[in-house]
Amino acid sequence: MLGGSFWIAMLRNGMSIILMLSFFLMLDRPRLPMKKAICCYVVFGIVSLFGYSAWYLLAQKSFVRIAPLSSLLVVGVFCSLMSGDVLYLSLYKIGAAFYLFSIGAFVGVDVARWWFDGNLWIDILVRFLCFTVILFLTWKKFRKQFQDGVDFLIEEMDLYSILTLFFSVFLGAIMAYWPNLQSFSVFNMVRAFLILAMAGVLQYTILHLYIHLGREHHFQTEKELLELNEQLLRSQLELVRESEKESARIRHDARHHILLIKEYIGKGDMAHLLSYLDQYGEDMESRRVSPICANPAVNSILSAYARQAGSKNIQVSMDVGVPQKLPIRDIDWVAILANMFENAIHGCINSGRFMQEIDIYIAKKGNKIIIQCSNTCAEGIKFYNGVPRSGKGEGLGMSSIVKTASRYSGETDFGIEDGRFVTRILLNISGS
């Protein structure tokens, strides 16, 4: 590095700290309110600035060797604690921030050494211009792209992707910051920038890969929901057709009832007339279909799948107490109940047992919606990360239930109890 006085080092450190903290905060969703988060970032930045500057003043050689890499750890720990996102995503953002800091530092140092005989102020000026351009492009371009895909990254990123990212970052940093290779030469300069370029391409590729995978899975889930909606619409259409047939039959029978009533009235046989009217009233009452619950969406979904289960000789019992209006979208009811009921039907069929049963319980308790489904199932069901997985791989139904429940800060639990598959879902509607 080019060295310099304490104040020069403080200026460089200040620009580097501002870049890394600002870049992270632009892409982050802090766990604290934004004003408090900014205050914490400012305090941490000031403390880090004086700490690293004092380190430079007291032990310049160790500072040059260790400080750049140590900033990845120090700033990374602070930003991860401040972030409201998952740890994987925080590590990705701090890795990207460190990479951009490395780019600015090397551009500044090598431009100053290549064309200006190592002029310190040229180094500072070039760094300032690089960092300004980076933050400007991050705010104007990259921030929106990242925020639009952040939920996909949370769903798709895992330990392997983070290890791949950090391996590329550390490899580039170790090779670039290796003390014996910091002497200026065309070879060292080209080598360092090629390593940093490859690390940058790898990071950007990982970003787009996981955003693309997340969107693909999202579209698959939406496609499944559309198919479920189509099935429900077909079931509702079939109910309408059956209602029309029933209405036509009632109109046809009404003529016979009227003729018989006229016959009783003509004969003055009031006793038989009253007895006949009582029988007719009981018959009408027995044919009346009671709604499962007051909520139209829940009632339609459960009715449609209960009919489907009944056609397959599956016994269904339901205890549902859901009010008419709830802050839950109809499409989310479909994602949860339709998937749950459909999986229960498949579980009963695959069990191969003579007695096949489905028990459903739904209730509202305060600001919570409690959903439980128990059904006959086959043996040997395997679980992966708490989610059931069949021999043909995990379907989209369970993942759709988990994802939809998370929209309401809910919880899901799947398990086997007494030879039956049990699904439990808890939805929080207090903040909906």
> In whole angstroms, what is the distance from residue 96 CA to residue 25 CA?
12
The candidate with the shortest Cα–Cα distance to 369, out of 328, 335, 404, is 328
DSSP category for residue 431:
-
Please work out, in degrees rounded to the nearest 5, the angle formed at the alpha carbon of residue 48 by the alpha carbons of 62 and 57: 40
Give burial (CB, 10 Å; 0-12/13-18/19+) of 358.
buried
Q: What is the DSSP string of 8-66?
A: HHHHHHHHHHHHHHHHHHHH--BSS-HHHHHHHHHHHHHHHHHHHHHHHHH-HHHHHHH
> In whole angstroms, what is the distance from residue 126 CA to residue 119 CA?
11
| Residue 199, helix vs strand vs coil | helix
Residue pair 315/251 in contact (Cβ under 8 Å)? The answer is no
Look up residue 183 and give its amino acid.
S
| Residue 372, helix vs strand vs coil | strand
Sequence spans of domains, the chain: 6-222, 235-287, 296-428
> In whole angstroms, what is the distance from residue 38 CA to residue 71 CA?
19
- Can you read off the two tokens belonging to residue 142? 């990259």
From first to last of its 432 residues, what are the pLDDT tens digits of the chain?
556 678 888 888 899 999 999 999 998 989 889 999 999 999 999 999 999 988 988 888 888 778 877 888 899 899 999 998 878 788 888 888 888 888 888 888 778 877 887 788 888 899 899 999 999 999 988 888 888 777 777 777 766 776 776 677 666 666 655 554 455 566 667 777 777 777 778 777 877 777 787 778 777 777 776 776 676 666 666 655 665 666 676 666 677 667 777 777 877 778 777 777 777 677 665 555 567 888 888 888 888 888 888 888 999 999 998 888 888 888 788 888 888 998 899 899 988 888 999 999 999 988 899 999 999 998 878 877 677 765 544 455 777 788 888 888 889 999 888 889 999 999 998 755
Please work out, in degrees rounded to the nearest 5, the angle formed at the alpha carbon of residue 365 by the alpha carbons of 363 and 369: 55
Task: Using the CB atoms, write b or e for 12-21: b if 16+ within 10 Å.
Answer: bbbbbbebbb
The candidate with the shortest Cα–Cα distance to 10, out of 38, 35, 46, is 46
Q: What is the DSSP string of 85-117?
A: S-HHHHHHHHHHHHHHHHHHHHHHHHHHHHHST
- The class level of CATH for 296-428 reads alpha beta
Q: What is the residue whose two structure tokens read 């049963």? A: 357
> In whole angstroms, what is the distance from residue 265 CA to residue 38 CA?
89
- pTM for this prediction: 0.58
Residue pair 101/16 in contact (Cβ under 8 Å)? The answer is yes
Please work out, in degrees rounded to the nearest 5, the angle formed at the alpha carbon of residue 300 by the alpha carbons of 296 and 304: 175
State the angle between helix axes of 87-115 and 60-82 in degrees (0 to 180), rounded to the nearest 10. Answer: 150
Residue pair 344/404 in contact (Cβ under 8 Å)? The answer is no
